[in-house]
Amino acid sequence: MSWDSLRELMALQDQLGRGPEGGWTPPVDVFETDDRYVVTAELPGLTRDDIQIEVHDGELVIRGRRPEPGVPPAAYLQMERLQGPFGRAFLFTEAIDAARIAAEFRDGVLTITVPKSARPEPRRIDVT
């Protein structure tokens, strides 16, 4: 699968994953190395407790909620930062090692390292 195809698939997943409750979509970068994928999401104003990460059948899902501000809505002169639920889902082109996924949240940036599963080595099978 080409990188453009993967990007199109991720954009479609994002559109489908929003669901009827709306919400907002945090900006995310995804890159791949020989042995892992790295997902980086900008989540300013959130804490670790506001974020849930799950993996099921090779799909990585990031969900959470940006809490409502403590200021009454009538007090705002301008309000551009979105609140409420968010969600992103990523299905990778190669098998992943779910047991070794690691996540770090620092300064409003979530970084998830998703190791790829070891590829089986080709082997010769003798016929007897």
What domains lie within the chain, and their CATH numbers?
Answer: 3-68+83-115 (2.60.40.790)
Dihedral (C-alpha) 12, 1, 98, 26: value to the nearest 10 degrees? Answer: -30
Strands 59-66 and 102-106 come out as: unpaired
What's the burial of 91, exposed, middle or buried (CB within 10 Å: 0-12/13-18/19+)? middle
Predicted confidence band of residue 19 (pLDDT cuts 50, 70, 90)? very low
pLDDT at 8 over 70: no
In this prediction, residue 6 has a pLDDT band, given cuts at 50, 70 and 90, of: low
Distance in angstroms (rounded) separating the CA atoms of residues 18 and 85: 9
Other beta carbons within 10 angstroms of residue 114's beta carbon come to 23
Provide DSSP, 3-51.
Answer: HHHHHHHHHHHHHHHT-TT--B---EEEEE-SSEEEEEEE-TT--GGGE
pLDDT digits 0-9 by tens, 55-97: 998 899 999 999 877 777 677 788 788 889 999 999 998 999 9
What is the pTM assigned to this prediction?
A: 0.74
pLDDT band with cut points at 50, 70 and 90 for residue 28: very high
Query: What's the CA gap between 108 and 34, in Å, rounded?
Result: 27
